[in-house]
Structure 1
Amino acid sequence: MEKVLWWLIGGTRGGKNRLRIIRKVKEEPMNANQLSEELDLDYKTIRHHLDTLEENKIVTSIGDQYGKNYFPSDWMEDNIESLKKITEEADLND
């Protein structure tokens, strides 16, 4: 898990936005449109990051199309300390 998180969060240009998405859905499940508004990012950018995070089992979803809500996967919840460590090491704290 730590290698996947390093690649997705610490090792790519979009890592900071992916981290913001993970943090936001950890607070409250949201759909892509809500995330776009909350994080002030383009809807297509949010969709791209959500697809990547879901493909790598970092977030999971319930629902379909526009009603699809995202939240951290059980795998992510079990590895939240790894995310915190990577966030600190990659200097991504706000």
Structure 2
Amino acid sequence: MEKSLWYLFAGSRGGVNRVRIVRELSDRPQNANELAETLDVDYNTITHHIEMLHEHDVVEPSEHDYGKLYFLTDRFEQYSETFEQIAAEVE
């Protein structure tokens, strides 16, 4: 998981936006539209980053299709210290 986190947030383009998404989701679950508005980022960009975060088990979607909420995974929460270390370098 640590390698995935380094890749997602520090080793690829878009890491800063992914950090911002995780920060928002740590406050409360949100859907892609809410994230786009809050972060002032294009909806399609948000969905791309959400897909990447989902593929690497950082976020998980709710079961609803319309207005699907995204949550941080329990597995990701176990690596919060690693995330904070990476985020400090990226931000």
TM-score, with structure 1 as normaliser:
0.91
Residues 1-94 of structure 1 aligned to structure 2 (within 5 Å): 1-88=1-88, 91-93=89-91
Which range moved further: 55-64 or 19-28? Answer: 55-64
* Runs of 5+ unmatched residues, structure 1: none
Q: CA deviation at 1:64?
A: 2.9
Q: CA RMSD in A?
A: 1.0
Measure, in 2, the Cα distance between the counterparts of 1:54 and 1:26: 15
Identity level (%): 45
- Partners of 1:63 and 1:39 lie apart in 2 by 24
Within 2, Cα distance between the matches of 1:16 and 1:83?
12
- Partner deviation per Cα, 1:12-56 (whole Å, 9 max, x = no partner): 110000010011001010000000000000000000000110111
The TM-score with structure 2 as length reference comes to 0.94
Which runs of 5 or more structure 2 residues have no equivalent in the other structure? none
